[in-house]
Amino acid sequence: MSQAQVNSSPSEADQSRPWWRYPIVWMVIGGPAIVVVASFITMGLAIKHVDPVLDTSANQIKVPSEAPAVQMRNHAADPPSNLGGK
């Protein structure tokens, strides 16, 4: 055994390893990488399953049972006529 091998410490052996051999590097890179992948999955779902545009006109109620809901929705969107409270 040579003198260099006897005096070498584990920290010197760790310093000679490449950066991708350290687990902490993958923890730092892994979090943002998972977020990027999840955002692409979310974008794909949003593009594939687009919500339909709702008709907001009160004149075109297609289902009679929806009439009260449409009337109240339109009423809630109107500005209040009595702002003074009197």
Find how far residue 68's CA is from the centre of its chain. Answer: 35
pLDDT (tens digit per residue) in 22-66: 999 999 999 999 999 999 999 999 999 998 877 666 565 566 666
Say if CB 70 and CB 61 are below 8 A apart: yes
| Sequence-ordered list of residues with C-beta below 8 angstroms from that of 25, at least 6 positions apart, any chain | 19
Say how far apart CA 30 and CA 81 lie, in whole Å.
55
Q: What is residue 38's three-state secondary structure?
A: helix
Q: What is the dihedral of CA 34, 36, 40, 41, to 10 degrees?
A: 20
> What's the predicted TM-score (pTM) here?
0.46
